[in-house]
Amino acid sequence: MPNIKFNYLYRDAGNYKNFDSVIFDNPQNMSLSTVEALIVSKLIFHHWFYANQWQVPDLYFGTWDNELDHTFHEFESVEYTDEPGNDGTDIASFINMLQTVVDPS
């Protein structure tokens, strides 16, 4: 059964980007459509989220400009992968945590 890779990025005010992914174990064999539907329902304006709320590493650059930079991270995609989990948790735990995040609307 494949694991699930959550792909996301941080885009600063100059449009420079840092990309990363978190790979969740998937012993429950959850479908991508189920995972993606919940993720999309929790995004701010269909794209963004706060990394600290979602308990994934932040991807900020080393310097910060309060007038230009922001705290949002951007959801890119989810996909199946045969790579081993790198988060120490499974996708069901991530989904349960997301369900506690306040709806963005």
Q: Give this prediction's pTM.
A: 0.91
Instruction: Tell me if 49 is assigned to some domain.
Output: yes
Instruction: Tell me if 11 is assigned to some domain.
Output: yes
Instruction: Tell me if 65 is assigned to some domain.
Output: yes
Give the pLDDT confidence of 60-88 residue by residue, as tens digits: 888 887 877 888 999 999 999 999 999 88
Q: How buried is 50 (Cβ within 10 angstroms: 0-12 exposed, 13-18 middle, 19+ buried)? A: middle
Give the pLDDT confidence of 32-68 residue by residue, as tens digits: 999 999 999 999 999 999 999 999 999 988 888 787 7
Are 42 and 104 in contact by the 8 Å Cβ rule? The answer is yes
Range of the domain at 15: 3-100
- The number of distinct structural domains making up the chain is 1
Instruction: Tell me if 75 is assigned to some domain.
Output: yes
Q: How buried is 101 (Cβ within 10 angstroms: 0-12 exposed, 13-18 middle, 19+ buried)? A: middle
Instruction: Tell me if 105 is assigned to some domain.
Output: no
Instruction: Tell me if 64 is assigned to some domain.
Output: yes
